[in-house]
Amino acid sequence: MPVRHGAKLAQDGLIVEAKKVEQRFFSLRSAAVYTDLSVDSLRRMVESGRLPGYRPRPGKILLDRRELDAVILAATTRPIGGRGSHLHGAGNGGGGNGE
């Protein structure tokens, strides 16, 4: 039977609480889903040294969730325009893209 986070189970007459285990390491593909970045972008970040990559075996790269979070939070650029800026009160009447 699947166990949900916080579910209580009766086991040998005892009540125990199941705890969700947070995934710490991601493959490049899983990290891309987690961060909404492309696999190629993540690979370039590893190759440039901006993001540490761990190679437990040849051909396999793992990324630490904590380091992914730190790189994203330390980003020095913030979105100030471009796609969707007209949706956030830019006052340019639709961004001039034919919408």
77 burial (CB, 10 Å; 0-12 / 13-18 / 19+) is: exposed
List Cβ neighbours of 34 (8 Å cut-off, separation of 6 or more).
Answer: 26, 65, 68
Q: d(Cα 18, Cα 88) in Å, to the nearest integer? A: 42
For domain 23-74, give the fold: Multidrug-efflux Transporter Regulator; Chain: A; Domain 2 (1.10.1660)
Percent of the chain topping pLDDT 70? 63
pLDDT at 3 over 70: no
pLDDT category, 22, cuts 50, 70, 90? confident
Query: Is the whole-model pTM more than 0.85?
Result: no
pLDDT at 31 over 50: yes
Cβ pair 61, 69 in contact under 8 A: no
Over the chain, what is the mean pLDDT?
78
pLDDT of residue 18: 65
pLDDT at 1 over 50: no
Q: Where are the domains of the chain?
A: 23-74
